[in-house]
Amino acid sequence: MKTHPYSRWPLLLTIFVAATCTEAPAQSTGVSAGFTPNSDQTLLTSAPAPTNSLWASRGCVDDARGKWFRDAKFGAFIQFGLCSELGGYYHGQGPYDPAEQIMGLGDRHMVIPWKTYETEVGGAFNPTNFDAPKWVSLIKRAGQKYVIVTTKHHDGFCMFRTATTHYNVMEATPFARDVIKELADECRRQGIIFCPYYSIGDWTAADVMDPKFTSYHDYMFAQLKELMTQYGDIPLVWFDNFWYVNQQWTTDQPHARELYDLLRSLNPNVLVNDRCGRGASSTDGDYATPENQLKGSRQSRYFEVVMTDTDDDNWGWVKGATNYRSAAVLIRNLIDSTSKGGNFVLNVGPTASGDFPPEHVALIDAIGAWMDVNGVAIYGTSPAPEVELPAAADVVCYATKKDQHIFLHVVKWPAGQGKLAVKIRRPNFVKAALLDAKLTGFACENAEADGITTLKFQRPDQIDPYATVIQLDFKAD
């Protein structure tokens, strides 16, 4: 695992380890330790534990509040803001990594002073190709069921209309359109669930917040109330808790509870991620958000893997990037996350002109085509621990289930004439079939004894280039 010299998103985000799980080696990089506020810092506001806290009801493993989220499985992340205007470069220097933090990298060693950032970068920000219907259509084409969009990143710039500061897309750019409003409305028209991202850490708040606010606490809460009440139903808020400046906030459970209770008071059904508080290794919020990091085993706590579309730590667009992940890797990561009891979210950093990079669109086309055929084995499924998968190194196979169906996702078949063999602690097997009817030469042998079904599959004459999915049907128990 690489630790980048410039701290990435999460505060205290190393590798998430569930209390009862162990972690496998990382397949990707980008998870690093962040800045921890000193214990003797004085906060702008105290956060006493709420009297009637909803904190005790957090979680989304099996509750009705989180059902849509568990069923969705595949989401999109959009990193879009003033940083998109620069594409990782400033005055000929770059690329700065990560691109979305180009304003202030490291321990806020400023690359661009905030006033220059506002006037020079904000003054040029005019993504005339931004087209909410097109963006949402592309997300839908990929098979992604929900989208998380940056409403305010660490630079403190608001991509929505707000009464809290002039430092927003409506007042500080020639574009002067409420990006968040347009996306939220279009998502509802096309049946995609809209979820705002909000960075708790804010590098410019002390300089830009309206004088009526005497604390960052009040400023942040006013912005969250705007997002929760002016953009339709908000079923999920995705916090990021990067390093804090000007002693504005701290990462502890009382503050996490206060944030959590605020959102649940505005929408009792909203889901809140773990970065409302201590993040990765905590039980704060409703679910965990490992970043660019697959889980090593089935998890006891619900999780959502968030991943860049490039093989690095850049969430914002980088001019000239050529290191995009392959569709094969991303489809396997989606299957992996689903089979271990979580979701998978793929990021895109739109360009300065407001377009999805063509490389990302190509990924969408490939992933979407696979999901069109095999989505039934992803959406609404859960892990299938009753399936004993092959342990051989030359075989890669995952299992999911729904109702009376078990799905085997075969990424790599046994070499030569070897057969794929699985044991399932379940009787009353009925039949097996490939989800993709265009694939030919499929055959299955089955035997049952002592409530265990043993199946053997010969590699079909044709296989899916990403993952061949076998549907197994059983009689109701």
List the pLDDT tens digit at each of the 477 positions of the chain: 232 332 333 333 333 323 333 333 333 323 222 222 222 222 233 344 444 468 988 999 888 999 999 999 999 999 999 999 999 999 999 999 999 999 987 655 678 999 999 999 999 999 999 999 999 999 999 999 999 999 999 999 999 999 999 999 999 999 999 999 999 999 999 999 999 999 999 999 999 999 999 999 999 999 999 999 999 999 999 999 877 887 899 888 999 999 999 999 999 999 999 999 988 778 999 999 999 999 878 888 999 999 999 999 999 999 999 999 999 999 999 999 999 999 999 999 999 999 999 999 999 999 999 999 999 999 999 999 999 999 888 899 999 999 999 999 999 999 888 899 999 999 999 999 999 999 999 999 999 999 999 999 999 999 999 999 999 999 987
Structure confidence at residue 110 (pLDDT): 78
What is the CATH topology of the domain spanning 384-474? Immunoglobulin-like (2.60.40)
CA 240 – CA 154 distance, rounded (Å)? 9
Q: Can you give the residue ranges of every domain in the chain?
A: 55-377, 384-474
Q: Is 6 left (phi over 0), alpha (psi -120 to 50) or beta?
A: beta
Integer CA distances (angstroms), 18 to 62, 283, 332, in order: 17, 9, 22
Structure confidence at residue 13 (pLDDT): 30
CA 363 – CA 2 distance, rounded (Å)? 25
| Claim: this prediction has a pTM higher than 0.75 | yes
Question: CB of 306 within 8 A of CB of 77?
Answer: yes
Closest Cα to residue 305, out of 323, 325, 322, 320? 325
Structure confidence at residue 107 (pLDDT): 57
Question: CB of 165 within 8 A of CB of 115?
Answer: no
Integer CA distances (angstroms), 248 to 46, 67, 244, 356, in order: 11, 35, 6, 34
Structure confidence at residue 17 (pLDDT): 29
Superfamily of domain 55-377: Glycosidases (3.20.20.80)
Closest Cα to residue 135, out of 310, 372, 360, 356? 356
Integer CA distances (angstroms), 470 to 87, 112, 124, 311, 447, in order: 42, 53, 52, 30, 17
Structure confidence at residue 456 (pLDDT): 97
Structure confidence at residue 27 (pLDDT): 31
CA 441 – CA 445 distance, rounded (Å)? 13
CA 100 – CA 95 distance, rounded (Å)? 11
Residues sharing a CB contact under 8 Å with residue 107, sequence separation 6 or more, in sequence order? 7, 35, 243
Structure confidence at residue 346 (pLDDT): 98
Question: CB of 400 within 8 A of CB of 377?
Answer: yes
Backbone angles phi, psi at 193, to 5 degrees: -85, 125
Q: Is the dihedral of CA 170, 176, 181, 184 positive or negative?
A: negative
Strand partners, 424: 387, 453
Strand partners, 421: 456
Which structure tokens are listed for 256?
């996490």
CA 236 – CA 363 distance, rounded (Å)? 26
Strand order in the sheet with 382-383: 382-383, 396-402, 405-412, 468-474, 429-434
Question: CB of 160 within 8 A of CB of 178?
Answer: yes
SS3 content of the chain, % helix, strand, coil (to 5): 25, 20, 55
Which structure tokens are listed for 143?
């098979």
Q: Count CA atoms within 13 Å of residue 179 on its CB side.
A: 28
CA 254 – CA 341 distance, rounded (Å)? 28
Structure confidence at residue 49 (pLDDT): 41
